[in-house]
């Protein structure tokens, strides 16, 4: 009779931590205290524990491949998440197979998931930032290890997301702290959870300050849409501060303000969201909110590996805080 080798739960028990913490140490997660990391590594050495995912793949019929479902888009946020997922998966010894869809609806998602399952993937990550993806996720086989990224927080599926509302509150509060009486918002598409979260945080910050809450100016995610919104805002002398739902919208707004002779930040302050690589080179350099896409990817992989390893318990929802990046596009309003 074969003797069972040490398992992750044995390491966790000896180190006095959870199995999720052991998984984070094994995958190089940055948010583990050094003392805890050393204790886990000592337990691994003492027990001689070695993660053997290849052996598990032989038993389960699953490969060392993670299937990803993503919309076929060049938008900075989803594209950055996908790149981060591929990097952290490679660091953990997994390849990534990406199934791109034109629309995140039930039929498209189900078709890609079936293809992934036919190839025996170890688990599936769905980048699902729109409402139409929800019903498809609930109908997927329950035994399939699954994590959604930026999905619907109302649905009972494992989820990792950026704290969109917290980022929007930071951006809005930064403008209020500069002395602006209120902040106008150019919002993203209505069916995106990112957009809804940013509207929520913007409104919460204004209400907490007792400031007037203007009607959001609807847009899509493009610079051209931001430009059209900026043309309207530029003609409104009462507008002194604008928070846009992403940096491409901010770029369009900046162009429109420039054409109308409204100086930034002397007359109007602008804050974006995403911190695209070009944001530091806008005129003026753009103050914006930076999501930690690498942290989202690591948390998603941790949550997926917990399921793949057959572990139970732990948090099924993780929210990653973004950071406000202050540059030159915000100043006090004109006297």
What is the per-residue burial (b if ≥16 Cβ within 10 Å, else e) of 168-196? bbbbbbbbbebebebbbbbbbbeebbbbb
Q: What is the DSSP letter of 93?
A: T
What are the residues whose beta carbons fall under 8 Å from the beta carbon of 215, sequence distance 6 or more?
none
Check whether 185 has a pLDDT greater than 80: yes
Query: What is residue 202's predicted lDDT score, i.e. its pLDDT?
Result: 98
* Residue ranges with strand state E in the chain: 65-71, 95-101, 123-127, 146-149, 159-162, 184-187, 217-218, 241-244, 269-271, 288-290, 317-320, 323-325
The predicted pLDDT at position 2 comes to 41
Give the CA distances from residue 122 to residues 27, 194, 280, in Å, rounded to whole numbers and listed in that order. 16, 28, 39
pLDDT tens digits, 197-240: 999 999 999 999 999 999 999 999 999 999 999 999 999 999 99
pLDDT band at 296 (very low <50, low <70, confident <90, very high): very high
How does residue 106 score in pLDDT terms, banded at 50, 70 and 90? Answer: confident
Q: Is the pLDDT of residue 284 over 50?
A: yes
The reported pLDDT for the residue numbered 305 is: 85
């Amino acid at each position: 009779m074969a003797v069972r080798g040490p398992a992750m739960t044995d390491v966790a028990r000896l180190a006095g931590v959870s199995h999720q913490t052991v998984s984070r140490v094994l995958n190089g997660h940055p948010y583990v205290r050094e003392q805890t990391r050393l204790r886990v590594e000592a337990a691994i050495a003492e027990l001689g524990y070695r993660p053997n995912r290849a052996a598990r793949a032989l038993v389960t019929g699953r490969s060392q491949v993670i299937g990803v479902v993503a919309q076929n888009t060049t938008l900075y946020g989803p594209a950055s998440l996908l790149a981060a997922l591929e990097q952290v998966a490679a660091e953990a010894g997994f390849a990534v197979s990406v199934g791109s869809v034109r629309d995140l609806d039930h039929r498209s998602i189900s078709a890609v998931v079936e293809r992934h399952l036919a190839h025996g993937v170890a688990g599936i990550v769905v980048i699902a930032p729109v409402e139409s993806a929800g019903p498809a996720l609930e109908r997927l086989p329950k035994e399939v290890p699954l994590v959604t990224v930026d999905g619907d927080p109302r649905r009972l599926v494992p989820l990792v997301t950026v704290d969109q509302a917290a980022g929007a509150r930071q951006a809005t509060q930064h403008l209020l702290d500069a002395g602006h009486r209120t902040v106008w918002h150019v919002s993203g598409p209505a069916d995106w959870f990112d957009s809804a979260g940013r509207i929520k945080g913007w409104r919460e910050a204004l209400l907490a300050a007792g400031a007037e809450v203007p009607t959001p100016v609807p847009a899509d995610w493009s610079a051209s849409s931001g430009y059209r919104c900026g043309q309207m805002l530029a003609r409104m002398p009462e507008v002194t501060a604008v928070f846009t739902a992403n940096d491409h919208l901010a770029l369009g707004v900046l162009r429109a303000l420039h054409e109308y002779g409204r100086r930034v930040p002397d007359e109007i302050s602008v804050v974006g969201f995403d911190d695209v690589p070009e944001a530091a080179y806008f005129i003026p350099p753009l103050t914006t909110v930076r999501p930690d896409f690498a942290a989202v990817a690591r948390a998603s992989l941790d949550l997926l590996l917990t399921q793949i390893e057959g572990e139970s318990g732990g948090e099924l929802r993780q929210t990653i805080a973004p950071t406000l990046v202050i540059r030159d596009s915000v100043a006090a309003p004109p006297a």
